[in-house]
Amino acid sequence: MTQVRKLAYGEKSEPAYDVRLAMQEAARCLLCIDAPCSQDCPVGTNPSKFIRSIRFRNFKGAAKTIRENNILGASCGKICPQERLCEKGCSRCGIDKPIQIGRLQSFAMEQEKIFGMKVLEKAPSCGKKVACIGAGPSSLGAAAELAKRGVAVTIFDENKEPGGLLRYGITPSRLDDATIDQDIAAIKELGVTFEQNHKVSREEVAELAKKFDAVYVGVGLSTSKVLKFVKGWDKQGVDTALNFLKNARVKNGQIGDLGKVVIIGGGDVAMDCASTAKQLGAKSVNVVFIETMEEMPASKKELDYITELGVPVLPFFKPLEIKGESKVEAISFASMDDESQVTFKADTVIFAVGQAPTEGFADLKQDGNIFLGGDMVVSRGRTVVESVQSGKEAAFAIADFLKI
Amino acid sequence: MKKVDLSIDFLGVHCENPFFLSSSPVCHNYEMISKAFDAGWGGVFYKTVGVFIADECSPRFDTHRKEGTPFIGFKNMEQISEYSWQENAEIIKKLKKDYPTKVMGVSIMGSNEEEWALLAREMTKAGADILELNFSCPQMTSHAMGSDVGQNTELVEKYTRIVCENTHVPVIAKMTPNITHIEVPSIAAKKGGAAAVSAINTIKSICGIDVENMCGRPVVNGVSSISGYSGAAVKPIALRFIAQLKQHPELQGFPVSGIGGVETWQDAVEFLLLGAENIQVTTAVMQYGYRIVEDLKEGLAFFMEEHGYTSLRDFIGKAVPNIIPCENLDRSFQIVPKIDYDKCVGCGRCYTSCFDGSHQAIDWDADKHRPTITDRCVGCHLCLNVCPVKDCITPGEIKFKKGKEAHEVKIQHDFDYLP
């Protein structure tokens, strides 16, 4: 009989390496020259260097290497799809399996915390000030990069706590608050100030552009898409992925009985919805998506994770109709080749079929001292690490614009 | 991190950091040493220059392996430089010109008085900042050179004196561990005028036998030879020799350059704590490259920052007084280990080792797979050392022997200790 893993909401999905395990893993590293792992990171992190530092017991140096390069180093260690980035190129794949780079990164970042390291210090002021809208990955990336150049950065964000998608769009089992807070603390060390609970409207962007030398808009794709061609999409019991995940996070999992859950979508967000629903005690959880297994966008790590939790997936099926009176009772699907149909009994249906720009910001264009970046224009909801890089690049453009 | 000063004046020579390549295959030409300097090494001891020119065998290296790890010991059959002293002098001159702030130590080896004098003069002329006398290579093809000389106090003193008479730079005698008391030839070197000793050179070894060829490894056309062993495995032996040098009454204040199995900054700190003022590395460089100096330097700097040290001299030698004769140890107590059952995976390694290797002081619950430490425990800590889980078995209650008064006892930190 297959054993299904039980995991409470918020319980860590992967145990952290202690120093012995980290040394064992680092000793597996081939310490390659021109290491392929160091060529595949969107934000240019150098795993070969920090793994070598771990191998030679320079744990603090490993943390320094990561933090200097990636302001969200602690978070990325836990949530990056390493198997299609740094680990993909790992030379060790030619022998057995790649080095667990993400877990080594998390080990290194744990040292930063243990030792109370302050890798980044506030730079002398350059006399400029920039507003960043949104406190998600790209905005944080931009803010940190600008602060390193002595810019006084203020982040405006609608949520209670900074982090954006990191905090509200990813399950706490994969990314806990303490890890996000560690990254945020590093940004605060640089002198960045946060104005939380401040939702910036489209109109306010222009005002900020007058008050600040430049404005960075990194509001991301905060609206979950709904497939309105599916009949019954507006019934009670239909939710969107981001809303579902955020609600669960804010209420620490106390969101009532989910009953039978069907999730539509095959990406990482859908996987997070599935694990969350399972952890919150749903009677059953099914994930259905239109892609084939080969094409499904979720990382293998996330798919394996929900499989371990006992969630079945059904590829190559499109949603037809959500049935029920006012409330969801069932949902029907047809195979993409229209050969067969299937109906699931359901109390909750969650659309995890991609995100749309934040309301009012869809048509915003880069103009004058207003700069755009992140998921909204560049990374398109792919990975956190790509958003950080996009924010960093926008910061370089802003720095050029401000001539600093 | 604040900028931490890793520099040290060693024998009056300013070194930007204590990390030097030891005289060996890792530093025998210009390209190698310039790359090493660019990588951040503070200096080198240039591969031994002689009038004798080495003719080497193939293969010439072998390794001592341990399951699942990179090799821990290394056997080397190379001798001294394959170039003439004149060629080497040119290389040294160019390095000194191109890297004026780096320290050029030059290792030399003669087979008679004339050769030692000549090499001393010529290498000093070429720009050596320090001369190191190789009295210790264990695989020379001549008995007039190498460790056979290093075991002979008269020759050590005589050759050291001749070198000192022919140079104005500080002279270090490199000692062999293939001897019972390394202090004896070291005292001879000091009498001869040496400013310091370096220790240890490699240990005579046979790394293993090729059982099909019925021959030691490396197999050189069906046979092999005893030669020098180095790497992580020799560190414990090197530390012991250094402690003995630092503690000998006739060698008080006599500097030591430490050599033997340094891979990490932590290894280096251990050598420094035992009084070494300079650190030499070869095997780890052969295994991993010059780049290891990045983590040696950074790790050492972090260590110093953490402990509030502003100079290497703040802690050099601090462990020397804490190595004492066995007869002087406090034997009034037993530290009974404690087991953290939340961490225990029930492998029974502690039970097996305690029963078969110590005092049968662990009971084993076969149903629950759970060890319990009993009153028979003598506090040897074999269980703690074999336990595969970090922090599962740790030092626990301190029990004083009958009639002994309770007092404060310092506890050892775990090897993988982190605060």
**B1 pLDDT more than 60:** no
B193 Cβ neighbours under 8 A, 6+ residues apart: B160, B161, B163, B164, B165, B171
Q: Which residue of A has its CA nearest to B297?
A: A58
**A254 pLDDT more than 90:** yes
List the structure tokens of A351. 């659309």
Q: Are residues B316 and B251 in the same domain?
A: yes
Which CATH code fits A19-114?
A: 1.10.1060.10
Q: How many CA atoms lie within 13 A of A244 on its CB side?
A: 30
Contact B274, B300 (CB under 8 A): no
Question: Which has the closest alpha carbon to A138: A393, A388, A328?
Answer: A388
The pLDDT of residue B418 is 63
Q: Domain boundary at B306, B322, B338, which?
A: B322
Contact A189, A118 (CB under 8 A): yes
Domains held by chain B: number: 2
Q: Does some domain include residue B109? A: yes
* End-to-end Cα, chain B, rounded Å: 18
The rounded distance, in Å, linking the Cα atoms of B97 and B30 is: 12
Q: What residues make up the domain containing B51?
A: 8-322
Nearest to B416 among A19, A111, A114 (CB): A19
Check CB contact under 8 Å for A64 and B1.
yes
Residue B349 phi/psi, 5-degree rounding, is -60, -40
Q: Are residues B363 and B301 in the same domain?
A: no
Contacts of A34 in chain B (CB under 8 A): none
Contacts of B264 in chain A (CB under 8 A): 56-58
Q: Are residues B150 and B79 in the same domain?
A: yes
The pLDDT of residue A359 is 80
Question: Which has the closest alpha carbon to A274: A296, A265, A301?
Answer: A265
Say how many C-beta atoms besides its own lie within 10 A of residue B191's C-beta.
Answer: 14
B16 at interface of A, judged by CB pairs closer than 8 A: no
CATH 3.40.640.10 is right for the domain spanning A129-222+357-401: no
Q: How far is CA B329 from CA A395, B240, B317, B402, in A?
A: 63, 17, 20, 17
The rounded distance, in Å, linking the Cα atoms of B92 and B107 is: 11
Burial of A217 (0-12, 13-18, 19+ CB in 10 A): buried
DSSP state letters, A309-326: TT--EE-SEEEEEEESSS
Average confidence (pLDDT) over B314-334: 98
Q: Are residues B273 and B386 in the same domain?
A: no
Average confidence (pLDDT) over A6-19: 92
DSSP state letters, A79-144: HS-GGGTGGGG-GGGGTS----HHHHHHHHHHHHHHTT---S-PPPP-S-EEEEE--SHHHHHHHH
Contact B173, B133 (CB under 8 A): yes
Contact A374, A137 (CB under 8 A): yes
Three-point CA angle A331, A334, A335, nearest 5°? 135
The rounded distance, in Å, linking the Cα atoms of B47 and B106 is: 7
Pick the CATH number of A224-354 from 1.10.3210.10, 3.20.20.140, 3.50.50.60, 2.20.28.10: 3.50.50.60
Check CB contact under 8 Å for A31 and B419.
no
pLDDT tens by residue, A22-33: 999 999 999 999
Q: What is the number of H-type helices and E-type strands within chain B?
A: 12, 20
Average pLDDT, chain A: 94
Say how many C-beta atoms besides its own lie within 10 A of residue B31's C-beta.
Answer: 9
Q: Are residues B97 and B237 in the same domain?
A: yes
Check CB contact under 8 Å for A56 and B265.
yes
Question: Which has the closest alpha carbon to A35: A58, A60, A55?
Answer: A55
Say how many C-beta atoms besides its own lie within 10 A of residue A172's C-beta.
Answer: 23
The pLDDT of residue A381 is 65
Q: Report CA B397 to chain centroid distance, whole Å.
A: 35
Q: Are residues B248 and B395 in the same domain?
A: no
CATH number of the domain residue B342 falls in? 3.30.70.20
Q: Are residues B190 and B303 in the same domain?
A: yes
Q: Are residues B182 and B71 in the same domain?
A: yes
> What is the nearest CA distance from B396 to chain A, expressed in angstroms?
21
Q: Does some domain include residue B335? A: yes
Q: Reduced to 3 states, what is the DSSP secondary structure of residue A282?
A: coil
Average confidence (pLDDT) over B372-398: 95
Check CB contact under 8 Å for B265 and A58.
yes
**B419 pLDDT more than 60:** no
Q: How many CB pairs under 8 A join A and B?
A: 59
The pLDDT of residue A40 is 83
**A63 pLDDT more than 90:** yes
Question: Which has the closest alpha carbon to B145: B132, B136, B158?
Answer: B136
The rounded distance, in Å, linking the Cα atoms of B177 and B187 is: 15
Q: Reduced to 3 states, what is the DSSP secondary structure of residue B210?
A: strand
The pLDDT of residue B387 is 94
**B190 pLDDT more than 90:** yes
Burial of A352 (0-12, 13-18, 19+ CB in 10 A): buried
Q: Are residues B335 and B229 in the same domain?
A: no
List the structure tokens of A74. 């602690």
**B206 pLDDT more than 60:** yes
Q: Does some domain include residue B418? A: no
Q: Are residues B307 and B257 in the same domain?
A: yes
A84-88, A368-372, B120-124, B158-162: least confident range: A84-88
A340 Cβ neighbours under 8 A, 6+ residues apart: A334
Q: Are residues B16 and B38 in the same domain?
A: yes
The rounded distance, in Å, linking the Cα atoms of B157 and B186 is: 9
pLDDT tens by residue, B150-168: 999 999 999 999 999 999 9
pLDDT tens by residue, A298-344: 988 899 999 999 999 999 999 999 999 999 999 999 999 999 999 99
Interface of A with B (CB under 8 A): 18-21, 23, 27, 31, 52-53, 56-61, 64, 111, 114-115, 119
What residues does each domain of chain A span?
A: 19-114, 129-222+357-401, 224-354
**B2 pLDDT more than 70:** no
Check CB contact under 8 Å for B264 and A58.
yes
Q: Are residues B233 and B369 in the same domain?
A: no
Q: Domain boundary at B322, B356, B387, which?
A: B322
The pLDDT of residue A379 is 61
* Torsion sign across C-alpha atoms B37, B39, B45, B47: negative
List the structure tokens of B219. 């197999």
Average pLDDT, chain B: 96
Contact B41, B103 (CB under 8 A): no
Amino acid at the residue B78? E
Q: How many CA atoms lie within 13 A of B100 on its CB side?
A: 1
Q: Hey, which bits of B170-259 come out as E strands? A: 171-174, 196-199, 203-205, 209-210, 215-216, 227-230, 256-259
Contact A294, A326 (CB under 8 A): no
List the structure tokens of B52. 């004798």
pLDDT tens by residue, A129-181: 999 999 999 999 999 999 999 999 999 999 999 999 999 999 999 999 999 99
The rounded distance, in Å, linking the Cα atoms of A362 and A28 is: 47
